[in-house]
Structure 1
Amino acid sequence: MSTTVDPLATLGSLPGVAEAVGTVRKAVDRVYGHRVMRRRSNEVTSEAALRGARGSAALSGADWALEEVRRRTDFGAGDEPRTVGAALRLTAEAGTLLSVWRQSPLRALARLHLVAAGGAQPDETVGRPRLAGEPVAEPLIEVELPGADEVAGRLDGLAGLLIAGSEAPALVTAAVVHGELLALRPFGSCNGLVARAAERVVLVGSGLDPKSICPAEVGHAELGRAAYAAALDGYVSGTPEGMAAWITHCGRAVELGVRESTAVCEALQRGAA
């Protein structure tokens, strides 16, 4: 009798991961229990989306003040405005892709890249994994770039795991999706933005954060690019210690996202937002 191995669930037993999962669960439960969430959850969701987009853009080199992101309407000219615009579009798109993600994660990723690229790339490279020899514009992610064949194989493997389902906690699955996409950089551009949007899709679709009020992107930005890069190095190493460090880093990012939305709830309660 053969036993099917659940690789994602196995990661949940790494040192420190169960504690991170438990801490995140308690933090999420607390913000969902806030009295403001009873009547004004849509406002919290909208604000979390804006702040999450700002955080994701910051990690991709466009570190704008929140009020600048809120104020601007033109994101078409210049690298930084385009990055912020892409982050905003992705945050809006993520919530519409839950059913697609469950059936075909690769199709959902293609859609996310199409939304992120927004006409900034030649059409033939948008929404599909890169081919051999095609360049990747992702200067802030410095880990070694896998070849196109490896990318295709690992994407298929990731999609297979997600479709098959796992007993792994949502944090573990979200962290693996995020880390794998950063490591692979499967598209010619916008890989960091897409990876963080995919993390959001998993956290929402798993039921951990169904109203999308716990923006991990805020936490990743607050922890900083250096910590983000160091944690990613751990993921890419594939060692138990490295994988655990990446997952716990992602857990801390979710906690900080919860803290941000808790502050929004408090401001709404006081009538200050």
Structure 2
Amino acid sequence: MDPLAPLLDLADVAPALAGARDRVDAAMRHRALRRHGGQVAAEASLRAAVASAALEGNPYDLEDVRGGTVTDPVLQGALRVAEGLGGLVDLWPRAPRQVLAKLHVLAARGVVPPADLGRLTGGAERIDALSGLIAGNDETPPLLLAAIVHAELITLRPFAGPAGVVARAAARLTLINRGFDPRGLVAVEVGHRSREPEYIGSAGAYATGTPDGLRSWLRHYAAAVTEAAEEITRIGDGVLASV
């Protein structure tokens, strides 16, 4: 049985998640993905990394990052994480804690002392519980599971330094591994960045553990995924215009 199924009974949650999935499915039919899918995926990955770094308080212009002129270690860590996701997809459901440690090594190199890379600063019991939820879970719908993975990690912040980058990457890994976004096109980070006050507020609401707090977060997550679907369309339009 799906341990998270009761969350779908919260008001407006199931329709919001279903609507987000429909928008992603529509975006996945964009003409650019037929011949230029790799280019769209690379651009989505870049935008996701830039947005994730910005959410950690390190905002940079996309074109400056694209030009290679930004050396900020948090931004560089977010780029390493984005590049490394593909190699961690299969390991994620088998060894979540190992993957989280690897994500932190990628994200925090040059930001925290080497001895702290990949090491939890606290919350080991909650991480164990989250790992149990991830490992071998084929019951929870991908969007719901990704939302909870993200919320648990963003509120717990179990690693030193840019723990938010790790949280957002873990959620992306969940969507990719569970087949919701097998090509890594859904830059949910962009959706969080475009709704940053709501992102911060709903994460805080989730941390209260109340039904209204959980509902607030899940509705935000659906909205962020919907915005990420629109971003696929914008990227695809741009790619077609350039060829």
Q: TM-score, normalised by structure 1?
A: 0.85
For residues 119-138 of structure 1, the aligned pairs below 5 Å read: 119-130=110-121
For residues 88-99 of structure 1, the aligned pairs below 5 Å read: 88-99=79-90
Matched residue type, 2:42 = S
Q: Does 1:100 align with 2:91?
A: yes
1:80-118, Cα deviation, whole Å (9 max, x unpaired): x11111111111111210111010110000000011111
Q: What residue ranges of structure 1 are gaps of 5+ in the alignment?
A: 76-80, 131-147
Q: Which residue of 2 is the match for residue 247 of structure 1?
A: 218
8 A contact 2:52–2:193 mirrored in 1: yes
Report % sequence identity: 39
Higher mean displacement: 121-130 or 209-218: 121-130
Q: Does 1:50 align with 2:46?
A: yes
For residues 170-189 of structure 1, the aligned pairs below 5 Å read: 170-189=142-161
Secondary structure of 2:49's counterpart equals helix
Matched residue type, 1:98 = V
Q: Does 1:9 align with 2:14?
A: no
Pairs aligned (count): 243
Q: Which residue of 2 is the match for residue 142 of structure 1?
A: none
For residues 36-185 of structure 1, the aligned pairs below 5 Å read: 36-73=32-69, 75=71, 81-130=72-121, 148=122, 151-185=123-157
CA distance in 1, matches of 2:234, 2:113: 41
For residues 217-256 of structure 1, the aligned pairs below 5 Å read: 217-224=189-196, 226-256=197-227
CA distance in 1, matches of 2:17, 2:106: 31
CA distance in 1, matches of 2:138, 2:4: 7
8 A contact 1:171–1:247 mirrored in 2: no
8 A contact 1:196–1:217 mirrored in 2: yes
Matched residue type, 2:232 = S
8 A contact 1:21–1:169 mirrored in 2: no
Alignment partner for residue 28 of structure 1, among 17, 24, 29? 24
The alpha carbon displacement at 1:13 in A equals: 2.4
8 A contact 1:231–1:245 mirrored in 2: yes
8 A contact 2:54–2:193 mirrored in 1: yes
For residues 252-267 of structure 1, the aligned pairs below 5 Å read: 252-267=223-238
CA distance in 2, matches of 1:72, 1:268: 20
8 A contact 1:111–1:127 mirrored in 2: yes
Secondary structure of 2:87's counterpart equals coil
CA distance in 2, matches of 1:128, 1:208: 30
8 A contact 1:12–1:168 mirrored in 2: no
CA distance in 2, matches of 1:271, 1:123: 43
The alpha carbon displacement at 1:47 in A equals: 0.3
Provide the aligned C-alpha RMSD in A.
1.4
The alpha carbon displacement at 1:119 in A equals: 3.7
Matched residue type, 1:61 = G
8 A contact 1:56–1:221 mirrored in 2: yes
1:9-31, Cα deviation, whole Å (9 max, x unpaired): 22222211111111111111111
8 A contact 1:105–1:159 mirrored in 2: yes
Q: Which protein is bigger by CA-based radius of gyration?
A: 1
The alpha carbon displacement at 1:74 in A equals: 5.3
CA distance in 2, matches of 1:240, 1:166: 24
